[in-house]
Amino acid sequence: MSAWVLPDHIADVLPSEARHIEELRRDLLDAARCYGYELVMPPLLEHLESLLTGAGVALDLQTFKLVDQLSGRMMGLRADSTPQVARIDAHLLNRSGVTRLCYCGPVLHTLPGAPHATREPLQFGAEIYGHAGLEADIEILTLALDCLKAAKLENPSVDLADARLVKSMLSGLSLGSAQLAALYAALAAKDSPELTALTRDLPAHIRQGLLTLVQLYGDASVLDEAQKALPPLPGVAEALQNLKQLAGQLSGVQVTFDLADLQGYAYYTGARFAIYAPGGSGALARGGRYDQVGAVFGRNRPAAGFSLDIKTLVSAVAARPLQAAIRAPWRQEPRLAAAITTLRAQGEVVVCVLPGHESEVDEFHCDRVLVESAGQWLVQTI
């Protein structure tokens, strides 16, 4: 095998795509800043026990592990930045009020999340800590949609669910971890025969509620059906009411519900959402409420957030036009050098054409040219 062949699901990013990714990164961070979110930069690797405590334990198989040559301790390359941001909120900032944080950086996965997915996503996300009310859920969902709007994603749709529906129905039951995992897997797969077998010894109203849950997906009428069909438990009623309120805050966006969507069930504690684009093969952004994320770090306070992979997002939006630029000749002439320096200081891209390369093209659209006229260097439109 050639030495320069990269590992599976790892790829170089070439100029056109790299420029688009970088422009998206800036746009997303600017959108988060407009909401008052502060940028943090967690390290790419940490001690393994820090990365995989609490909600991070679900990332164990996705985390690359290595031995620290300085301490001899096991370290991990982060597979998700959210546990790190929770650690920063809990231990480094330790603020008493609301904290809004955002981040953007690479994460590494031992296995791809989908057949053609990269194992090196560029993860962007935003987190809000310290407010238990629905207002935080609304803000984080609105920010996620505004970020996708900034990326020029057309016709996004939002799918809503709530982790409390299943947790409320199973609360108080003596179920082993293997049985719980099997129940969640059957619900997520909407496998009614398997779910029927797994719930045969559960109380009748709980069994019927779980079997009904797999049928509850579609438009807003799903919530009305759920109120009639699901057990009248406090957590169920609260979850359905929150979903109605969340959906009511969205205008100009298609909203659907899948009440058996259990992705990240061990992670989320309340309403959760996924945002899709027409023709896409999966969610472009996922988020919701995860109030337990900071518990392992000693601060079990409310939290909500979302994340997305900019590399996936860039493939779902239209390519951006080439960067406009000014073409200039290559000469060692002081007035020309001064003119180029002035233009670059003004934010213009000036590409100097090296001798013998006049016909070459690159990632810039040179729509103007720097020409000499009456002893002055002037910009002219091509």
Res 1 pLDDT > 60: no
Could you read off the pLDDT of 238-291 as tens digits, one per residue?
999 999 999 999 988 999 999 988 777 677 899 999 999 987 778 999 999 998
Return the pLDDT at 361. Answer: 66
Return the pLDDT at 292. Answer: 76
Name the segment(s) of the chain with CATH classification 3.30.930.10: 1-153+281-320, 157-276
Return the pLDDT at 96. Answer: 87
More confident residue, 380 or 297: 380
Distance between CA atoms of residues 50 and 75, nearest Å: 9
Q: What is the mean pLDDT of the chain?
A: 91
Query: Helix count (H) and strand count (E) of the chain?
Result: 12, 16
Return the pLDDT at 261. Answer: 85
Distance between CA atoms of residues 375 and 355, nearest Å: 22
Return the pLDDT at 56. Answer: 60
Instruction: Using a cut of 0.85, tell me whether the model's pTM lies above it.
Output: yes
Is 359 assigned to a binding site? no
Give me the architecture of the 157-276 domain, per CATH. 2-Layer Sandwich (3.30)
Res 54 pLDDT > 70: no
Cα distances from 72 to residues 48, 75, 245, 282, 343, in angstroms, run 12, 9, 51, 40, 53
What DSSP assignment string belongs to 123-140?
EEEEEEES--SHHHHHHH
Confidence of residue 336 (pLDDT cuts 50, 70, 90): very high
Q: What type of residue is 15?
A: P
Count CB neighbours of 130 within 10 A.
16
Which residue carries 């040179």 as its tokens? 366
Q: pLDDT > 70: what percent of the chain?
A: 97
Q: What is the CA radius of gyration of the chain?
A: 26
Is 217 assigned to a binding site? no
Is 268 assigned to a binding site? yes
Is 123 assigned to a binding site? yes
Q: Which CATH superfamily is domain 1-153+281-320 in?
A: Bira Bifunctional Protein; Domain 2 (3.30.930.10)
More confident residue, 296 or 220: 220
Distance between CA atoms of residues 51 and 270, nearest Å: 23
Which residue carries 């359905």 as its tokens? 240
> What average pLDDT does this structure show over 344-361?
88
> What average pLDDT does this structure show over 74-90?
93
Confidence of residue 59 (pLDDT cuts 50, 70, 90): confident
CB 340 within 8 A of CB 350: yes
Return the pLDDT at 4. Answer: 81
Is 241 assigned to a binding site? no
Closest listed residue to residue 93, CA positions, set 291, 305, 298, 269: 298
Confidence of residue 13 (pLDDT cuts 50, 70, 90): very high
Res 104 pLDDT > 70: yes
Could you read off the pLDDT of 123-155 as tens digits, one per residue?
999 999 999 999 999 999 999 999 999 999 999
